[in-house]
């Protein structure tokens, strides 16, 4: 989790030197080389009650989601999509697992986010799978915005009497009493 600890927004680069991208159709997740594109930026949302699980929200307000739908018939990988669920369930939750200087993102079913390479339809696709031995599961995390924790200012100390306060008889002095009208 330390990769995301103080991160408000990140971008993630894979072994193919491509970035995890939210597609303009607001449903598809791809990978592309242009990391400066707004679609490569993911807002990090910690899951309440857990220090080990996060959600990644795209620039479109939808979440990186591990779907149950197969990517290709006969292949083991399942689709990773963008979704706006009515209730935030565990399909949008990812557990970062450190692997040296890189990270793997794990689903609730012990599948990992995978950047696919090769010929179409695999090229530039993103899936999740249970195989763990490939470099395709490893991601570099670039923090693009740091979370600044705002703390409310400390309450002002109670006012003490000063020598300029007037006494009941209107004189000024150290022993003056304050009168509220």
In a domain, 162, yes or no: no
Confidence of residue 74 (pLDDT cuts 50, 70, 90): low
In a domain, 175, yes or no: no
| CA distances from residue 106 to 92, 122, 179 in whole angstroms, order as listed | 11, 20, 66
Confidence of residue 167 (pLDDT cuts 50, 70, 90): very low
Q: What's the chain's average pLDDT?
A: 84
Q: Which pLDDT score, from 0 to 100, does residue 162 have?
A: 46
Q: Which pLDDT score, from 0 to 100, does residue 104 have?
A: 95
Domain that holds residue 55: 7-146
pLDDT in tens, 112-127: 999 999 888 889 999 9
CATH number, domain containing residue 133? 2.80.10.50
Number of domains observed in the structure of the chain: 1
CA angle 86, 88, 93 (to 5 degrees): 145
- Token code pair at residue 149: 């924790």
In a domain, 156, yes or no: no
Decide if pLDDT at 148 tops 90: no
Decide if pLDDT at 174 tops 80: no
Structural contact between residues 65 and 109, judged by C-beta atoms closer than 8 angstroms: no
In a domain, 172, yes or no: no
Residue 55 parent element (H or E) = strand 54-57
In a domain, 97, yes or no: yes
What 3-state DSSP class applies to 40?
helix
């Amino acid at each position: 989790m330390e990769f995301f600890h103080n991160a408000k927004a990140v971008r993630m680069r894979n072994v193919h030197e491509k970035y995890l991208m939210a597609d303009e159709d607001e449903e598809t997740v791809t990978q592309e080389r242009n990391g400066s594109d707004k679609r490569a930026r993911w807002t990090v949302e910690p899951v309440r009650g857990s220090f080990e699980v996060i959600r990644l929200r795209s620039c479109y307000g939808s979440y990186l989601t591990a779907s149950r739908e197969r990517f290709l018939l006969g292949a083991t990988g399942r689709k990773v999509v963008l979704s706006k669920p009515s209730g935030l369930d565990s399909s949008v939750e990812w557990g970062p697992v450190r692997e040296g200087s890189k990270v793997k993102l794990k689903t609730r079913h012990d599948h990992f986010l995978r950047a696919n390479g090769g010929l179409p339809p695999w090229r530039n696709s993103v899936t999740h799978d249970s195989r763990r031995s490939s470099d395709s599961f490893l991601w570099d995390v670039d923090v693009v915005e740091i979370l600044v924790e705002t703390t409310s200012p400390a309450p002002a100390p109670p006012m003490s009497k000063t020598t300029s306060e007037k006494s009941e008889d209107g004189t000024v002095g150290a022993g003056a009493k304050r009168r509220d009208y």
